Each structure stands twice: as C-alpha cells, then as structure tokens.
Amino acid sequence: MKGIEYLRAQVPDGYSIEVLQTTDERALHLDATFLPLRLGLAVYNPDRVTKEELRSHAFFTDWDLHPCPIKPNPRGLCSPPMYMCSPWLVLNTLSLDEKKIFIEEQDVEFANWLEEEFGMEPIMLPFQNVNCLGGSFHCATVDLVRE
C-alpha cells in the first residue's frame, strides 16, 4: 500500500487513485483483467474481478460492463513462452478509436465476439512474440498524444 500512498500524494487535485480488489491474489496485469473498449463500455475477466467490485467505484457506476464469456486457451507448444502472463492476455488489446481495436491474430474467437456483440472492428496482427516480455499490445505501447 506504500506505493498507492505515494501515488495519491503525487497526483494533482481533482484526480484520485483507486484500488481495484481482485479475486486472484496473483493478478499482475490490470490490462488482462479489465478492458475498456470505449468510454462507457468495458469487458472484464470474471476470474479476476466481479461486476460488484467494479460498480463499487463511482467512475464505473454508469458503464456497460460485460464479463468475457470466452475462456482463453493456453498458447500452443510452438508459441513463444508467456512467462508472467496467463491466457487472459487476450484482453490486452489496444483500442485505436471507438470501433477499431488491435487484437493478436491467434485470438479469433475473442475478436469475433467483440465484433458481433459490440460492433467492434478487430484488426488482427501477429504479436505473440511480445508475450514473452510480459505483455501484449497495451503493455507494449505508449500514448504520445492524449486528449
């Protein structure tokens, strides 16, 4: 909690740091737990967090929250190692705008679900080799401009 206390002391007035309680004490990746698709719409990992926990944060009270119904399968034997990652890295995507989203090319079932359920436009890209570094699209990118 010292790190959270430090962050709270550093953020300017008008901002807050909130702690998301997960049901998996080994959960390392928030971006493999919660996926905002666009403002007001998100998918979450039901193995790691509950809808009630998300709703307990004022920011998410009006959001449309959906548990991911797809249980991701472990990568194949010929795939790069995932080290500190789980198959839930399927949620570690990158939204480009309110429709377009980068998804690892192996995660076809998840991409199809996002397209059918939310009208997303998946852009399938080979990115598995980055998984061995401990993440995927969201972990391996940084915003250069943000509104």
pLDDT in tens, 114-126: 999 999 999 999 9
Q: Specify if 70 maps to a domain.
A: yes
d(CA 100, CA 121): 5
Q: Specify if 140 maps to a domain.
A: no
pTM, entire model: 0.85
pLDDT of residue 71: 85
Q: Specify if 21 maps to a domain.
A: yes
pLDDT of residue 81: 64
Structure tokens belonging to residue 33: 């737990």
Q: Specify if 146 maps to a domain.
A: no
Q: Specify if 147 maps to a domain.
A: no
Q: Specify if 138 maps to a domain.
A: no
**Given its phi and psi angles, is residue 48 left (phi above 0), alpha (psi -120 to 50 degrees) or beta?**
alpha
For 72-112, the pLDDT digits (tens) are: 777 776 676 666 667 778 888 999 999 999 999 999 999 99
Listing DSSP states for 84-131 in one string gives T--GGGGG--EE-SSSEEEEETT-HHHHHHHHHHH--EEEEE--HHHH
* Domain span including residue 87: 2-131
Q: Specify if 144 maps to a domain.
A: no
Q: Specify if 22 maps to a domain.
A: yes
Could you give the number of structural domains in the chain? 1
- Name the percent of the chain lying above pLDDT 90: 52
